[in-house]
Amino acid sequence: MAVLSKIRERSLILILVIGFCLFAFVIGDVIKSGGFGVTRNVGSVNGTDIPVQEFLEKVNELESRQPGISPTQASNSVWSQEVDRVLFGERFEQAGLRVGKDHVISMYAQNPQIAQNPQFLNAAGQFDKAKFNEFLVNMKTTNPEMWNSMERNTPAVEASAMRQIYTAMVKSGYVATNNDAKARYEAENNKVTFDYVYVPFSSINDDEITVSDDEIIAYMKKNEKKYKSQPTRSIEYVKIEDKASAEDELEIRDRINSLLKSRVEYRDGKNDTLPGFKDMKLEDVPAFVTSNSDIKYDSTYVVKKNLPKDHADDIFDLAKGDVFGPYVENGYYKVTRMLDKKEGGSVKASHILIAYKGAMRAAPTVELTKEEAKAKADDLLKQIKADSSKFGVLAAQNSDDPGSKNNGGTYDNVTPGQMVPAFDEFIFNNPVGKTGVVETDFGYHVIKVDDKYEAVRVATLALEIRPSDKTGDDTYAKASQFELDAAQKPFEEVAKAANVNVVNVAKLLPSDEAIQGLGAQRGVVLWAFSKDSEVGDVKRFDISDGYVIARIKDVNESGLMPVEEARLAVAPTIRNEKKAEQIKTKMTGDTLDAVSQASGAKVTTAENVTLGSAMVPTVGVEPKVVGSAFALEAGKTSGLIVGKSGVFKIATKTVEKAAELPNYNSYLARVEKQEKTAAASRISPALKENADIEDNRVKM
């Protein structure tokens, strides 16, 4: 007992010690992270914080409005909007911009569905703000949900209105002068003819000129804005697939074959023969498929082109009750049995839906009464009977079905039960070419039966070809071992031993989601940018069809672009500068003939070249050379000119000036329009370039 007592005492001390250590560990983490709270801001723009809660609410709202958008796409879109909101908001405040109620209504009126709605038009057919305002006032009591939605949207509409005003102010700041217009006219119509000697940079092999890392860095520092870089990560990874082995596939094939045949089971003291998929009664097949297949039974009649592509003929030609298979399709072993065939079992039909106020799913803009909708449908039917070729055009102009109006109102391969009963009854019980008006809960449909096809009903027993538990365990063990080995040995060496390919992914950005060869793998990106991750770190990730083992190859924080990344763009420029110096030493002489003789390059003539095109025949676009030719007096020779593609020496022969125009109004309008458009597109990039933007989304 004394021994037990001492053990209990020491156990209590041990528990207290462990508890204290855990507490110290947690407190240490809290102190390092700056407190018990979580990050409250997703980032900041010029010192203005963007709260994480508001940001996430906007992301969720965007995802609900745009089904199918990925979380990362939604996050990137909202982040861009938030950055613009802050940057433009600062400018609005500086400019003292405000918008009133009338301006907000004008913004809503820019939506064609509102501007062209008969409910809001006056007698002259123009949008009437008073009518729209009355509609809004009534909405507050008749449709509070829509009113609240519009209220939530009002700040965004006001910001959009102010942005329009601000953009207009920036555009109005550029006014083209008569001199600008005249300069454009002369650039397009003045012509120069000149002789030149040209030695291209390509006359010196690239491998004869070395460009050092220091030279690239020095060049980038001189052009820092151009070579700014976002934080990036480069990784390498291997993918180890968790897929069925040959033994797994054989076992699955045996299982599906066993389901085809009758089998004997001992029940209630006697042997009972249970029919298999191949020989059971047709009425029992759906239940059998439901119980035994990895893909549920589908009772829909289908046309031939909707059957499995590689086996469509074999399946479609089956007699009722016959079986085809086993065959492999889309990762499944399958066996298909013919249950029924039906002439006209699938229909191609076109329709024009005329909805009325109060009809099911009618748009808020629909104002027709039920009687007016019926009259309109009858009128359309008369037009179609007079000329059936008009159906598609009339559908585009009149149909209230957004799913079909833009493709002639057509629905192809419609099978029984796919449409509402009255629609189904018309298209299946009438011959091809028949037209008519049918009423449903959605409104009145002007329908035309375009075509009918033979359709079949089949039952398909399908077993997924998936790895067994043993194969899954072996794959996990292989991936785990790879992760351990890659942390100690060269990644390529481990991959070679494991017989897997290494994929290199360069320049991942913090906002990236998709990874080359893997698709959406945000977790890998977050790990690569984690503050605890370093070059050489290796980590295994579970994916839907196996495992990815990734290694961080390179870490670049924001600042100048990495030398190796910049080399492709910068090295040719530096190399050409060095080539130009070498070429100049060979192009000696005061005349073109002397330079030609010294360099071995011939004298060539460029005729009627304009400054607007700056095209030197057989060479390419050379603005500096053509500009120099216009600047020289006729008969004068230039010094050596370093152009885009080589070194030139030119001698101007003639400059032909275009006749002066009485006015340059057409050029004036064109120049002003082009420059205003360009100015508007440069506002947001210019604001971002000079802003202090901190994006912490990767830390969330």
pLDDT digits (tens, 9 = 90+) for 555-579: 887 777 778 878 988 999 999 999 9
For residues 338 and 458, is the Cβ–Cβ distance under 8 A?
yes
Closest C-alpha among 380, 526, 489 to residue 443: 380
Q: What pLDDT, on the 0 to 100 scale, is given for residue 14?
A: 39
pLDDT tens-digit readout, 186-221:
999 999 999 999 999 999 999 999 999 999 999 998
Cα–Cα distance measured from residue 355 to residue 443, given in angstroms and rounded to the nearest whole number: 4
Please provide the distance, in angstroms rounded to a whole number, between the alpha carbons at the two ends of the chain: 55
Output the pLDDT for position 159.
Answer: 83
What are the tens digits of pLDDT across the range 162-172? 888 888 888 88
Rounded Cα distance between 111 and 105, Å, is: 10
Closest CA to 318 of 457, 413, 414: 457
Q: What span, in angstroms and rounded, lies between the C-alpha atoms of 433 and 450? A: 6
Domain 345-454 has CATH 3.40.50.150: no
Q: Is the pLDDT of residue 272 over 80?
A: no
Is the bond into 326 cis (omega within 30 degrees of 0)?
yes
Reduced to 3 states, what is the DSSP secondary structure of residue 205? coil
Tokens of 390: 């008009």
Task: Give the E-state strand segments of 481-532 in sequence order.
Answer: 503-508, 514-515, 519-520
Q: How confident is the model at residue 406 (pLDDT cuts 50, 70, 90)?
A: confident
Outline where DSSP puts E strands in 399-536: 410-414, 435-440, 443-464, 503-508, 514-515, 519-520
What is the rounded distance in angstroms from the CA atom of residue 504 to the CA atom of residue 22? 40
Q: Which residues contact 436 (CB under 8 A, 6 or more apart)?
A: 381, 426, 430, 446, 447
Structure confidence at residue 571 (pLDDT) = 95
pLDDT on residue 367: 86
pLDDT per position as a tens digit, 628-682: 999 999 999 999 999 999 999 999 999 999 999 999 999 999 998 888 888 888 8
687 vs 95, 222, 506, 606, 679, CA distance in Å?
A: 15, 22, 29, 43, 12
Q: How far apart are CA 543 and CA 547, in angstroms?
A: 5
Local confidence band at 7 (pLDDT 50, 70, 90 cut-offs): very low
CB burial of residue 340 (10 Å; 0-12, 13-18, 19+): middle
Which of 18-22, 99-103, 557-561, 618-622 ranks highest by mean pLDDT? 618-622
CATH for the stretch 191-229+563-656: 3.10.50
Q: How far is CA 182 from the centre of its chain?
A: 44
Residue 182: HSE in the Cβ half-sphere, 13 Å Cα cutoff:
9
Average pLDDT over residues 275-301: 92
CA distance 14 to 20: 10
When the candidates are 1.25.40, 3.10.50, 3.30.70, 3.40.50, the CATH number that belongs to 232-243+467-557 is 3.10.50
The mean pLDDT value for 107-122 works out to: 76
Which of 72-81, 147-156, 334-343 is the least confident region? 147-156
How do residues 358-370 score in pLDDT, each as one tens digit? 888 888 788 899 9
Run of H or E residues at 41: strand 41-45
Does the pLDDT at position 99 exceed 50?
Answer: yes
Half-sphere exposure of 143 (CA within 13 A, CB side): 11
Query: Cα–Cα distance between 196 and 452 in angstroms, integer?
Result: 74
Dist. CA 674–CA 272, nearest whole Å = 87
Say if residues 462 and 291 touch (Cβ distance below 8 Å): no
Helix (H) or strand (E) holding 604: strand 603-609
* pLDDT band, residue 39 (cuts 50/70/90): low
Measured between alpha carbons, how far is 542 from 553 in angstroms, rounded to an integer? 20
User: Is pLDDT larger for residue 61 or for residue 551?
Assistant: 551
The predicted model gives 432-456 an average pLDDT of 93
- Identify the bridge partners of residue 266 per DSSP, sorted by sequence position: 271
Q: Is the pLDDT of residue 320 over 60?
A: yes
Residues in the chain: 700
Q: Which residue has the higher pLDDT, 144 or 4?
A: 144
Residue 486 pLDDT greater than 80, yes or no: yes
Using 50, 70 and 90 to split pLDDT, how confident is the model at 19? very low
Determine the Cα angle at 699 with ends 695 and 700, to 5°.
100
Q: Classify residue 194 as exposed, middle or buried by CB count within 10 Å of its CB (0-12, 13-18, 19+).
A: buried
How far lies 560's CA from each of 102, 220, 224, 281, in Å? 48, 7, 7, 75
Which pLDDT belongs to residue 266?
66
**CA of residue 23 relative to chain centroid, distance:** 47
What's the whole-model pTM score?
0.54
Residue 539 belongs to what H/E stretch? Answer: strand 538-543
DSSP conformation class of 43: E
Cβ burial 618-653 (10 Å sphere, 16+ → b, else e): ebeebeebbebbbebeeeebbebbbbebbbbbbbbb
Average pLDDT, the chain: 87
Checking if the pLDDT of 264 tops 80, the result is no
- Check residue 700 and give its pLDDT: 63
- Answer yes or no: are the C-beta atoms of 312 and 455 closer than 8 Å: no
**Which range among 66-80, 227-241, 463-477 shows the weakest confidence by mean pLDDT?**
66-80
Of 50 and 155, more confident: 50
How far apart are the C-alpha atoms of 224 and 327, rounded to whole Å? Answer: 62
Say if residues 66 and 59 touch (Cβ distance below 8 Å). Answer: no
Q: Does 397 or 108 have the greater pLDDT score?
A: 397
Could you tell me if 692 and 46 are in contact, meaning their C-beta atoms sit under 8 angstroms apart? yes
Over residues 47-56, the mean pLDDT reads 89
What are phi and psi for residue 566, nearest 5 degrees? Answer: -80, -25
pLDDT score recorded for residue 228: 79
Percent of the chain beyond pLDDT 90? Answer: 53
Mean pLDDT of 514-524: 89
Of 15-19, 514-518, 569-573, the range with the lowest mean pLDDT is 15-19
Alpha carbon 465 to chain centroid, angstroms: 32
pLDDT higher than threshold 90 for residue 616: yes
- Cβ–Cβ under 8 Å, residues 437 and 426: no
Whether 605 shows a pLDDT value over 80: the answer reads yes
Rounded average pLDDT over 337-362: 90
Q: Is the pLDDT score of 6 beyond 50? A: no
